[in-house]
Every structure is written in structure tokens, then in C-alpha cells.
Amino acid sequence: MKKTVALLMMGWMASCAVRPPSTVSPQNTTTRFEAAETLAGSTASGLTSSPSSPLEPRRTATFTPGLFPGLTPTGTAAGELQAITSANAASLTQVGMLGKGSVVKAEWSPDGQWVAVASTQGIHIHRSQSLEEIRFIDTAFLPVTFEFSPDGNVLAVMVSSLHGNAVQFWSVPDGSKRNEWTNLDPDIMERVMQFSPDGSLLAFGTDGGSVVLRRVSDGEVESTVRMHSEMVTGLAFSPDGSMIASVSADGRSVLWRIWDGRLLRAYGDKFGWSGANCAAFSPDGTILAFGVSRLVRVYFASAYTELFTVEKTGGEVTSLEFSPDGSLLAAGTESDTAGVWGIPGGDLRYELTGHFYRVASVSFSPDGSRLASGAPDGVRVWDAVDGGMRLELKGFSAPLSAVAFSPDGTILVSGTSHLNGTDAEITVWRISDRSLLHRVKGPKDAVGQLVFSPDGTLLASGSIDGTVNLWRVSDFELVRSLQAHSARVSAVAFSPDGSLLASGSDDKTVKLWRVSDGSPVRTLEGHTNRVTSVAFSPDGTLLASGSEDETARLWNTSDGTPARSLKGGLYRVRSVAFSPDGTLLALGSDWGVEIRRVSDGSLRNTIHGDIGQVSGVAFSPDGSLLAAGTSNQAIYLWGASNGTLLHKSEIDTGLITDIAFSNSGALLASASHDGTIRLWGIPNPD
């Protein structure tokens, strides 16, 4: 669970991004040992059907098709969806999904027929000429990387779950699962895996600084070679399969011989590099490139002679690949661009721009005519000669941080979470047909909370740069940007009459704004740590704010005076919500949920246990239910009157960051770090 949650919280780190260093002492040794138990059902090919996996499959509720064409303007599917109440909550099921998740990697097949895309939902196989999706492989767990076998017939997919990592083998021609390795070392790095050129070995990097070589035929460990004192962040086989270049967070970029583990060259020792990210050989094996922080360093593989260094890459280097003829080198970066340089001179041929987020992978087509770039928001195919974009694969998203229904229930908006300085995005969906209407590029880094004005004409968003932005819903143009706070704005809320807007910030303050002209009304001070959530009472007389100072506060909106301070008993308060009648206030915290009486602040119910950090809470429109989304990747529904658990749905691909009910009560939306919005409802009986 630790690895999965860490990966998601970091916003889908690039394939060779640096992780925190370990403290293992450096060694240069080769150890051969007997492998863990041989996989039952394996043959010489290593690709027969595997035994049942000890990993538990994804437990997401089943999708119910055919509901959305009947959605009315209120958001209720006529004759098909019931309002969600305490009486029927146990029957809640997933009735739809918006988005395909976040792209982890894109790669051309060796024969050039297909482009495979790993997203947080599985593996998508597309025709390379049109990007038409012809097959989806449901890996049942979170894919973190994949590799084509050299002959192109097999996909090796590393997946991560709450119970550890595994490697699945899938047939490319028919999409069938051929085998699965579940006995991986626990310190295997989640994104460092590569086939040997002859397809007989799979190499893995480890957290402890080793490279593990496994035989594809039977899954047994061939050897373990330790060249690093800290985690291995990238590796590359030489084209003849005799050597491996491995790079590490310890700053060492080394070349070593496979058959005996002998160190041939240590580039990082000579040049004192900081942590290196990735490595790539030219097709003829004569040139070796390294991604080192924000630099690309290119050398003759047989010597220390440097060909060139690229210093202005635009961001941390995430991936490297040479063109098939060796004349070009492409690099993806943590910014939203990729670069292509000529070999051997290092002249910049062109930059690839247009992604909203970091470019996590780059891949040349086998004939060298095209280049695919993968980023969380999608895949783009470029002309490798002039850098012009030729095709775009849409429908994907970065990790999400916020979700909100329009008052009439016809559209849904989502916002993205922190992604290393790239622009955030607000995505607008039409619920009736699940179509993408708009993608709005917002302020830097992240979108905090999203909320519609009561009349549905405006959308407010908070941002990491301290601004509060007002968007016109008719065309999603920015109509006003308020320089509201000195730090990130995590929370926004409209008053019930739409005249006021509240904002809460990491600067520990809550501010009220006049919506009509954007003028400040007052600043509410009292919290001693960042403000995480704000909500108006249904009658507009009170404003609630939650904070990491472990309190929620109630304020009189008429004059800004404090009405009450509620000391949370479950650590930091992450979210607050009023019941529809205004008598109760729910506090979502690090360790659970508290339901308080607004009249005197007394505790009505406490809900805790193994539910994780509560990132969002919401009452159903009829007030009978309290819903919560949590960091243990689950949706909970409790009875609001007594705190009884009525329903739980688990999602194995990402922690839940926000939830919202439609005003009709027929739909519940959850936003996730896997880049998807799931829609939940209760179909009427046939």
C-alpha cells in the first residue's frame, strides 16, 4: 500500500524520477542464487496461463450501461435512477466513468502497427496510423510501466496494488493473459523494467541499488548485481545484450558487463553528477545518453569522451530515446515539453509543445518517421522530421483534486492536482452523454476546490498561486481573477444567495468577497495552520472553516465575528459540510469523521477505524446520508442520524480526493488520483 499511495500522491512521477534515497552502503558485487519458487504452470516459453494470483482483484462496483442517454436536465435518469437515500444506499453501484485515467507511458510496438498506452485503468492498444483503439486490457491493478517483447508478441506489464507489485504477460495478437509473476522482490522499483534484446531476460531496478535479472522462460532470478548505494532509477541494455547502463539517485551512472557483473565504467564518479534519472543506448551501441536532473549528457559508450550536454531541457528529464537510425535523440521532461536533438552535434531540431503536463515518455516509430509523446493528459504523435503534430489521443487526465455538479445537474467539472509547476486544468463534462465539452488551462500547479454559483452562471476555483478565479459557465472564459491570498487557496464556497464568495488558504486566513465586483468584504483570522475547507450554512448566516490546526470554526457572516471553535478529536480537519437543514456539521479528518450539532458544537457521532484520511464529505440532498471519499481508495455512505455504515465501494487505482452529490440526489461523483471521475447511483429495479 505504501508504494501505491506514494506514487499517486506524487502525481504520477515520471518513469525514471528520483525517489528519496536509501542508506545502503555501495558495493560492486554479483550474486547468483536459487530463485524463489518456480511459477506453477510455466513452460519453457514462460508464457502459459498462470495460477491464480494471490493479489486481490480490483473491487470497484460493476458499471451499469445504458443509463445516461435518459438523463433529464435535473440530473436524474427518468425511470432509471433513484435518489440515493439511507433506505437504498446499500444498493449503490458505479453507473458511469468520465475519462480514461492518467497516461503513464506510450510506446510503439516493434513492428510499428500499434501504439500501446498504459493508463491508470489498464492498457489501451491503438492502431498506429489513426490511434483508433482496438483493444483494452484490463490489468485489474494499477499499471506502472510496460515493455513490448523484442518480437512484439508479448506485453510485460508491471502492476501495483495494495498487496505489492507483480508482472503480467499479455498476448498482443489476442489480448489474452499468458502468465503472471507475483513473487517479485519487495524493493523492486515500480517503473524500472526492461527486456534484454533477445527477449530472454527482464531486468528490474531495486530500491536498494541493485539490478535483478529474471529469466522470462521460468521467472527465476538469473543474477542480482549491485552497483549503487541508493535506488536504481533507470537502466538500458546495450543493443548486443552484453552490457547494462544503470543510473541511480546516488549520482552514479555506470556501465557493467552482464555475464560477470564487472564494472566497466562509472561516469557519475568521474563527473560528480547529482542523481541521474534515465539512460539510453544508440541503436549501434556506440553512444550512451543519460538524463541527469535537468541535463542530457551524451557520451561515446566506449570512453569518457563527451559529445555534448544539453542544459536547457525545460525541466527534470524523465525519458530518453534515440531514433532507429541514431541521428536524433528525444527527451521528455517534467515540464509540458519534449526536445529533439541531432546526433552527434547536439543541435536542437525542435521542441514538442502542447501537453498540459509533464511528458513522461517518448517513443520513435520503428521506421523513424514519427515520435509519440505520452503525458498524463494524453498521447500526441509528431512528425519526426519537422516536429509537426499529426495525431492526438484525448480523453485522459492528470490526477484530480476537485469535482462539482452544476446546480441543474447537466454538467460536471473537475480540477487537477499539483504537478511540478505545469499549468493546472479544469475539465468540463456533459453528463447526459459523458462527452468532454471544455478543457480550461488554469493557473500554475493545481486547482483547489471547485464550486458553482447557486444560479449556475459562475464557477469559482482556488489555485496554488493564491488566486481565486471566476469563470463564466456559458463559455468558460475567465471573467475575474482575485489576488486573494499569499499562499495556496484550498477552499472556495458561494453563499446560498450567490452574493458572497468565501476563500480559505494556506496563509491561515478565510476571506469574504463581493461576487458582483470582486471587492473584499472582510478577513477572518483565528486559525493557526492552513485552512483546508469552507462551507456556508443553508441559510447563509454562518460560515464553517476546517483547518490543519485540528479545529473547525463557525463564523457569523454578517459581521465576521467568531461563533464557535470546534476542537476536532481526529487530528487535522480536511473537509467540512453542513446538513441540508443546517443543524449538523460534518468534519472529515485524518483519522475519520465527526458529526457535530451546530447549535452548541456538541458531538453527535464519531466515525473512525480503518478508513484512512477523509478528503471530502457531503450530505445527501435529503439529509439522510453522509458520504466520504478517503485515502484508502474507498467511498463510504453512513446514516447521518446514527453513523451506521450502509455502503462501501473500493477503487484499487487511486485515492479519492473529492466527492459531490447532484442536487437531485440521483448521482454521487467521486474524483480520484487515477485521473477519473466515477459516477455512482442506484438503478431502478427492472
pLDDT single digits (tens) 271-323: 455 668 899 999 999 999 999 888 899 999 887 788 899 987 778 899 999 99
Cell 541521428 appears where?
327
- Tell me the residue type at 16: C
Rounded-to-integer distance, Cα 267 and Cα 273, Å: 8
- Tell me the residue type at 667: L
User: Is 652's pLDDT higher than 80?
Assistant: no
C-alpha cell at 156: 510485460
**Of the ranges 55-59, 76-80, 449-453, 582-586, which is most confident?**
582-586
Give the pLDDT confidence score for residue 491 in this predicted structure: 94
Give the pLDDT confidence score for residue 268 in this predicted structure: 59
C-alpha cell at 511: 476571506
Give the pLDDT confidence score for residue 165 in this predicted structure: 87
- Tell me the residue type at 601: G
Per-residue pLDDT tens for 612-634?
899 999 999 999 999 999 988 89
Average pLDDT for 65-77: 36
Per-residue DSSP letter, 570: S
Would you place residue 11 in the very low, low, confident or very high pLDDT band (cuts 50, 70, 90)?
very low
Report the phi/psi class of residue 528: left, alpha or beta, with left for phi > 0 and alpha for psi in -120 to 50: alpha
User: Is 99's pLDDT higher than 50?
Assistant: yes
Rounded to whole angstroms, what are the CA distances from 178 to 104, 110, 181, 524, 621? 22, 19, 11, 61, 48
User: Is 434's pLDDT higher than 80?
Assistant: yes
**All residues at 6 or more sequence positions from 70 whose CB lies less than 8 Å from its CB, including other chains:** 77, 78, 79, 80
The H or E element containing residue 269 is helix 267-271
Rounded-to-integer distance, Cα 359 and Cα 429, Å: 24
Rounded-to-integer distance, Cα 504 and Cα 425, Å: 20
Report the percent of the chain where pLDDT is more than 70.
85
Rounded to whole angstroms, what are the CA distances from 18 to 175, 229, 318, 433? 33, 14, 10, 40
Give the pLDDT confidence score for residue 25 in this predicted structure: 31
Q: Could you tell me which residue, 136 or 354, shows the higher pLDDT?
A: 136
- Report helix, strand or coil for 442: strand
Give the pLDDT confidence score for residue 30 in this predicted structure: 32
Average pLDDT for 182-187: 82
Would you place residue 418 in the very low, low, confident or very high pLDDT band (cuts 50, 70, 90)?
low
Per-residue DSSP letter, 70: G
Give the pLDDT confidence score for residue 306 in this predicted structure: 85
Report the percent of the chain where pLDDT is more than 90.
65
Rounded-to-integer distance, Cα 310 and Cα 290, Å: 11
**Of the ranges 62-66, 147-151, 650-654, which is most confident?**
147-151
Average pLDDT for 4-9: 33
Q: Per-residue DSSP letters for 292-352?
A: ETTEEEEEETTSS-EEEEE---SS-EEEEEE-TTSSEEEEEESSSEEEEEETTT--EEEEE
Average pLDDT for 172-189: 89
**All residues at 6 or more sequence positions from 679 whose CB lies less than 8 Å from its CB, including other chains:** 94, 95, 96, 97, 98, 431, 667, 668, 669
CB 540 within 8 A of CB 497: yes
- What domains, with CATH codes, occur in the chain? 68-98+397-683 (2.130.10.10), 103-184 (2.40.10)
Rounded-to-integer distance, Cα 237 and Cα 228, Å: 17
Give the pLDDT confidence score for residue 444 in this predicted structure: 54
Rounded-to-integer distance, Cα 675 and Cα 657, Å: 10
77 φ/ψ angles, rounded to the nearest 5 degrees:
-75, 115
| CA dihedral over 225, 227, 240, 320, signed as positive or negative | positive
**Residue 633 CB burial class (10 angstroms; 0-12, 13-18, ≥19):** buried
> pTM for the whole thing?
0.75
CB 483 within 8 A of CB 466: yes
Rounded to whole angstroms, what are the CA distances from 190 to 143, 153, 186, 623? 9, 23, 10, 43
Q: Could you tell me which residue, 32 or 372, shows the higher pLDDT?
A: 372
**Residue 655 CB burial class (10 angstroms; 0-12, 13-18, ≥19):** buried
Q: Could you tell me which residue, 466 or 29, shows the higher pLDDT?
A: 466
Rounded-to-integer distance, Cα 350 and Cα 338, Å: 9
C-alpha cell at 671: 474524483
Q: Could you tell me which residue, 8 or 343, shows the higher pLDDT?
A: 343
Rounded-to-integer distance, Cα 651 and Cα 630, Å: 10
Rounded to 10 degrees, the C-alpha dihedral 204/653/616/438 comes to 100
Would you place residue 132 in the very low, low, confident or very high pLDDT band (cuts 50, 70, 90)?
very high
Per-residue pLDDT tens for 554-563?
999 999 999 9
Closest CA to 546 of 582, 499, 593: 593
Rg over alpha carbons for the chain, rounded to the nearest Å, is 26
Give the pLDDT confidence score for residue 497 in this predicted structure: 97
Cell 425511470 appears where?
79
Rounded-to-integer distance, Cα 628 and Cα 656, Å: 9
Rounded-to-integer distance, Cα 104 and Cα 236, Å: 19
Give the pLDDT confidence score for residue 69 in this predicted structure: 34
Average pLDDT for 378-405: 90
**All residues at 6 or more sequence positions from 47 whose CB lies less than 8 Å from its CB, including other chains:** 154, 169, 171, 178, 179, 216
Rounded-to-integer distance, Cα 280 and Cα 277, Å: 11
Q: Could you tell me which residue, 7 or 418, shows the higher pLDDT?
A: 418
Q: Could you tell me which residue, 136 or 41, shows the higher pLDDT?
A: 136
Give the pLDDT confidence score for residue 220 in this predicted structure: 93
User: Is 419's pLDDT higher than 90?
Assistant: no
Which alpha helices (DSSP H) does 492-532 contain, by range? none
> HEC states along 125-163?
EEECCCCCEEEEECCCCEEEEEEECCCCCEEEEEEEECC
User: Is 19's pLDDT higher than 90?
Assistant: no
Rounded-to-integer distance, Cα 683 and Cα 94, Å: 10
Average pLDDT for 575-593: 95
Report the phi/psi class of residue 642: left, alpha or beta, with left for phi > 0 and alpha for psi in -120 to 50: alpha
Q: Could you tell me which residue, 50 or 128, shows the higher pLDDT?
A: 128
Bridge partner residues of 296 (DSSP): 291, 310
The H or E element containing residue 567 is strand 562-567
Give the pLDDT confidence score for residue 284 in this predicted structure: 96
Rounded-to-integer distance, Cα 497 and Cα 453, Å: 9
Give the pLDDT confidence score for residue 401 in this predicted structure: 87
Instruction: Compute how many other C-beta atoms are within 10 angstroms of the C-beta atom of residue 194.
Output: 19
C-alpha cell at 80: 432509471
- Report helix, strand or coil for 89: helix
Rounded to 10 degrees, the C-alpha dihedral 264/267/268/273 comes to -170
Rounded-to-integer distance, Cα 170 and Cα 155, Å: 5
Q: Rounded mean pLDDT of the chain?
A: 84
CB 103 within 8 A of CB 119: yes
